[in-house]
Structure 1
Amino acid sequence: MRAFSNFRSPKNIFYGKNAFSQVGKEASLKGSKALIISDKIMDSLGYVNECQNLLTKESVSSITYLGVASEPTDQYVSESLELFKQENCDIVISIGGGSCIDTAKAVAVLATNGGFIGDYMGGKKIAEQAPIPHIAIPTTAGTGSEATDVTVITNTSNDVKMMVKQPAFMPEVAIVDPLLTISSPKTVTSATGVDALSHAIEAYLSKRAQPMTDTLAVSAMKLIIKNLLTAYNDGGNEDAREAMSLGSLQAGLAFSNASVCLVHGMSRPIGALFHVPHGISNAMLLPAVLEFSKSSCISRLADIGRIFKPESNVSDEEAAELAVTSIKELCLQLNIPNLKGWGIDQKAYNEVLEKMAADAIDSGSPANNPRVPSHTELVELYQVCYDYQLAVQEIR
């Protein structure tokens, strides 16, 4: 009998078409004035105004912070936290991708616990006071941040992505409405979709996997693998968007409890130093990292290979290779570039290889990987990933 495991999730999760309509009622149960953290794109699409109207109907007033313009930084956190305090808000609502949600997570905790968000990194400071109620509303099917107790904030003073994981950072309510993802352009759909797939795969391969996370990770992989290309090629397909939103949510719940591994550990320094969006950098790294890890997780990778090709009657070794090959093929079809193709200068990249390897190890995520790399192996893997080629191979 295995040792016990712990599983955390938001107190309430609303998902499915028109779930967004519940934001006013939920907010009215939490307070009377909301800070909405979003960005200018969400505002231009009308989502912020729609949220405000839904709040008004339930007698909840609101103000907006629309300054999130890239991966979340400590500057966004301090600006929105100051606004929260000035306006005497008592609820935080995030609308957008993972950047908006992660920013709101930090505000919700710092508003009651104080300090700098970096203080909480590595458990140096524990959030002992209950956070401000946070309602998270994703508009992409990818990060899963609405269902995790993790926030990743870039420290602008040293270009380090600070990963903070504590129960207090879990949103109180997640509202997952696939209709909000229809506006996502193809590039966002592909990057966030592979990001969600990375979450599910790493949760399944993690040394900290447990039966609950396995169930969610497998379900998420099935939904994403079956529907990502359809959502990418036909963004208006509501069924595909609904499946992707559910898959992303399940993957978020899975990795929040089982943890991510080497892909995410390597991805954060790339994002911090070269400002590559998180989902894209994960997608760039996934095939090469799986090749590196394969020898230490044949059985589990074989399970993934059989999700891609359930009709295949092959050995575990062949099915594991099929998983890697299928992911390469998927990334090719989604036009995922390598780091060189993204435009990262090779000289600048080589100059920070040692720092990226050290920062990746310090994040703790690589330690959860089936094959844990040394510092030297991480440097070598970063070099491989720079101009990694997604060679087309025959899929059985």
Structure 2
Amino acid sequence: MVNRFVLNRISYHGKGAIKEIPGIIKSKGFQKAFIASDPDLVKFNVTKKITDLLDAEGMSYEIYSDIKPNPTIENVKAGVAAYKASEADYMITVGGGSSMDTGKAIGIIINNPEFEDVRSLEGVAPTKNPTVFTIAVPTTAGTAAEATINYVITDVEKKRKFVCVDVNDIPNIAIVDPDMMSTMPKGLTAATGMDALTHAIEGYTTKAAWDLADCLNLEAIRLIAKSLRDAVENKPEGREGMALGQYVTGMAFSNVGLGVAHSMAHTLGAVYDTPHGVACAMMLPIVMEYNAECSGEKYREIARAMNVADVDKMSQEEYRQAAVKAVKKLSSDVGIPAKLEALKEEDLDFLAESAYADACRPGNPKDTSVEDLKELFRKLM
């Protein structure tokens, strides 16, 4: 069997990494940046950390901030029009998954205009050209969109999210600077951190998992379990550990896929506008329990990575329960709810059918059905 592994060409890590940006731009000879960043980051001067660097060097740019937490087809179409009008020749995405996913879709369409309807990008679209040159600067430690070949767009009309998987969308350069994440509020830090943990655990247990991805995902689980509580308290060591942990799993899950925790989280986001990280955190232990019988010895290693003591003395049932319990405790410790009040019985059929159709579902280690997914959703009520 042949396994493919796709990565960024270049990434920069550590405090102050954003200072590399002007030099990168000069070396490439670019003239004007299209900066995709969400409105709150612009409002609270987070994006300004990047524009200040450009201003100091007399570099031209235009900011596009018509971006929603769950970016929509309309956001993308407006962004494509704004990019064309700006006459920019490269992009900088500043933000979490929403900004970077929007930027990915914009960049792909600019260089592959036959996909301008956006919906045709769903799944593995046959794009021919790489996205416009993109420097991705994450401000959350969660989605790892700066490292992946995936992005997610919301179809408001159909009340669903769709996943796009495209090796042409990966940013050229990732700038992973924990200082850019230091302004995140506790709730967002917790939610995005649990999203990263979901990436790592689902990537480690997915049907396509293999040795190279496994070693990265296990290290990501260890880093996140060690760092997330401190990151929520805005301690520098926690921010640094999460910045690295979310990127490490991004490299891995981008190549091996995810499972139904993400399928279900996508659906909850589309129907109830549930923040993606919160939805992932609520679904992860439920799905882990569901998948346990298909996990072999992997839950033992998950428990070990989450610093559970004496796992080698446990039976298979005990270490599987210990892994799920450790995930539940971390989620609770950082303030994530276990139930979704908005969830309604009458919505379950649509939710389950949408989750079953999601691109992440086939990677789940346990084969599932619409009825199974309905029962899993019901556990959130």
Same-fold call, TM cutoff 0.5: yes
| Deviates most, 48-57 or 189-198 | 48-57
Q: TM-score, normalised by structure 1?
A: 0.92
Q: 1:292 aligns with which of 290, 293, 301?
A: 290
1:235-283 per-residue CA deviation (whole Å, 9 max, x = no partner) reads 1x11110001000001111110110111101111110010011111101
The residue type paired with residue 230 of structure 1 is: D
TM-score, with length taken from structure 2: 0.95
Output aligned runs, 1:179-198, within 5 Å.
179-198=179-198
Match of 1:381 in 2: 376
* Change in 2 beyond 3 A, CA 1:130/1:169: closer
Where does residue 262 of structure 1 map in the other structure?
A: 260
Q: Is the 8 A contact 1:302 1:317 kept in 2?
A: no
Q: Distance in 2 between matches of 1:62 and 1:82?
A: 16
Which residue of structure 2 lines up, in the alignment, with residue 47 of structure 1?
A: 46
Q: Which amino acid aligns with 1:279?
A: G
**2:244 equivalent in structure 1:** 246
Decide whether the 8 Å contact of 1:25 with 1:58 is kept in 2.
Answer: no
Q: Deviations over 1:11-63 (max 9, x none)?
A: 11111111111122223344211110112221233232231232244553100
User: Contact 2:35/2:94 (CA < 8 Å) preserved in 1?
Assistant: yes
Q: Does 1:352 align with 2:347?
A: yes
Amino acid of the structure 1 residue aligned with 2:290: F
Once superposed, what is the RMSD of the aligned Cα atoms? 1.5
Contact 2:308 2:322 in 1 (8 A): no
C-alpha contact (below 8 Å) 2:260/2:360 kept by paired residues: yes
Q: Is the counterpart of residue 118 in structure 1 residue 116 in structure 2? A: no
Deviation beyond 6 Å, 4+ runs, structure 1: none
Separation in structure 1 between the aligned mates of residue 279 and residue 308 of structure 2, nearest angstrom: 29
Note if 1:35 corresponds to 2:34: yes
> Is the 2:38–2:98 Cα contact (8 Å) retained in structure 1?
no
Once the two structures are overlaid, the 10-residue window that deviates more, 105-114 or 56-65, is: 56-65
Query: Within 2, Cα distance between the matches of 1:168 and 1:43?
Result: 28
* More divergent stretch after superposition (31-40 vs 99-108): 31-40
The answer as to whether partners of 2:143 and 2:195 remain within 8 angstroms in 1 is yes
Query: Is the partner of 1:385 in helix, strand or coil?
Result: coil
Distance 1:130 1:69 in 2: 24
> What letter corresponds to residue 117 of structure 1 in structure 2?
V
Aligned runs of 1:337-348 on 2, under 5 Å?
Answer: 337-340=337-340, 343-344=341-342, 346=343
User: Could you say what secondary structure the match of 2:380 adopts?
Assistant: helix
1:383 is displaced (CA, Å) by 0.8
Question: Match for 2:2: what amino acid?
Answer: F
Task: Please give the alpha-carbon distance, in whole angstroms, between the structure 1 residues aligned to 2:308 and 2:324.
Answer: 15
Structure 2 counterpart of 1:87: 86
- Check whether the contact 2:230–2:237 (CA below 8 A) recurs between aligned residues: no
Query: In 2, distance between residues paired with 1:40 and 1:120?
Result: 25
CA distance in 2, matches of 1:321, 1:23: 46
Aligned to 1:200: 200
**Unaligned runs of at least 5 residues, structure 2:** none
Question: Does 2:367 align with 1:369?
Answer: no
The within-5 A match list for 1:50-199 is: 50-114=49-113, 115-123=116-124, 125-199=125-199
Q: Distance in 2 between matches of 1:290 and 1:207?
A: 14
Q: Is the 8 A contact 1:32 1:59 kept in 2?
A: no
Cα deviation code 1:181-222 (max 9, x no counterpart): 111111011111111000000110011112221111011111
Gaps of 5+ in 1: 387-396
> Relative to structure 1, is the Cα distance of residues 154 and 29 closer, same or farther in structure 2, using a 3 angstrom cutoff?
farther
- The residue aligned with 1:392 is none
Cα distance in structure 2, aligned partners of 1:252 and 1:296: 23
Quick check: 2:147–2:174 contact (8 Å CA) kept in 1? Answer: yes
Would the aligned equivalents of 2:11 and 2:175 in 1 still touch at CA under 8 Å?
Answer: yes
Contact 1:142 1:192 in 2 (8 A): yes
